[in-house]
Amino acid sequence: MASQSVTSLDMASQVKAPLAINCTILVLVIIVVGMRVWTRVRGVGLGLDDGLAAAATILGILCLGLQGFFITNSNLILKILFGFDMLYVHALAIIKTSVLCFYLRIFASPSGLRRVIQALLGLVGGWTVAFSLALAFVCHPLPFRWDPTIRGGSCGSQTAMYATLIITNAVMDLVIMMLPMYTIWGLKMRGPEKIGLMACFSLGTAVVVASCVRLTTVFNSNYDNSNPTGGALSTNIFLCVFEVLLGLLCISLPTLGPLYMRLTSRFVSTSSSRLGGGRPRCHGGRRLYGYGHSSSASGGSGSTSTAPPRRRRA
């Protein structure tokens, strides 16, 4: 009994610090997602991508709540882990779907890019169903996942299942992140602005790094045993919640472009009026940030030019 209480205290100490970190990030997520909604309401209006981001935020809060239960319910770790896994997979899927819907919203040209985005939406849907079923039926019967005392129960390799989930998730994140880069580079903008916009869409790299770090903890958590390693398991749970919350930040920050440009345009116009300068120029990045649809340098079918029209000489 004494050793069990010591183990519970060790588990609590291992979880409290990561829980505090994720709580801090959650506050930032709520602020950024709230600013996203406010910016869209004041601008082009709310879309499906915004609703999905809000839904993923709710799932992120639930995941964080389950992370906290690891402190006070050490005897229910396996049950909590099962529910956590389901929330985690669906949170990641909703985040990816939100990004792809955002792409469909800004890339309006009837080109191959939209077909690729639609194909990725189907892939994300299939990925979600596949791993939801894998999590549910990796053990037979299902209660054997959290009650290894059931006679005749057996499980497949949970370590291999989690590793496959992480690797496929990271690959999809990379593909989704790189998808708009060519189009962004073709926008009629200045070079530094293009690089800044590409960097904004490349924030998902941090999520991929978190996934790779988590992959190393999976092999140390002993999922294939009936008693997963406490320290590695708590680190794994922390990284899962961290990945979800970081993903929410990454998909919401690019949508704050109109707010940033509105604030900077006021600053530039104020500075120009004081210095006697002219009006600031409007660049193509405003459309990509959410004011409208983007255009490529090649000017494909259905594209709209973001450069200001030239006046004809008399």
The pTM is what?
0.77
pLDDT, position 46: 87
Domains identified in the chain and CATH numbers: 2-257 (1.20.1070)
> Average pLDDT of 210-217?
84
Task: Work out the mean pLDDT of the chain and round it to a whole number.
Answer: 76
> Which alpha helices (H) appear in 107-229, and where do they start and end?
112-137, 158-178, 181-185, 191-201, 205-218
d(CA 274, CA 104): 41
| pLDDT of res. 157 | 85
The helix or strand, by DSSP H or E, that contains position 154, with its residue range, turns out to be strand 154-155
As a whole-number percent, the residues of the chain with pLDDT over 70 amount to 65
How does residue 84 score in pLDDT terms, banded at 50, 70 and 90? very high
Q: Summarize pLDDT for 221-260 with one digit per residue, the tens.
A: 666 665 565 557 778 888 999 999 999 998 888 777 766 6
pLDDT category at 307 given cuts 50, 70, 90 is: very low
What DSSP letter does each residue of 254-293 carry, written as one string?
GGGHHHHHHHHHHHHHHHHHHHT--PPPP-THHIIIIIS-
pLDDT for 55 equals: 95
Residue 270 has pLDDT above 60, yes or no: no
* Confidence check: pLDDT of 192 > 60: yes
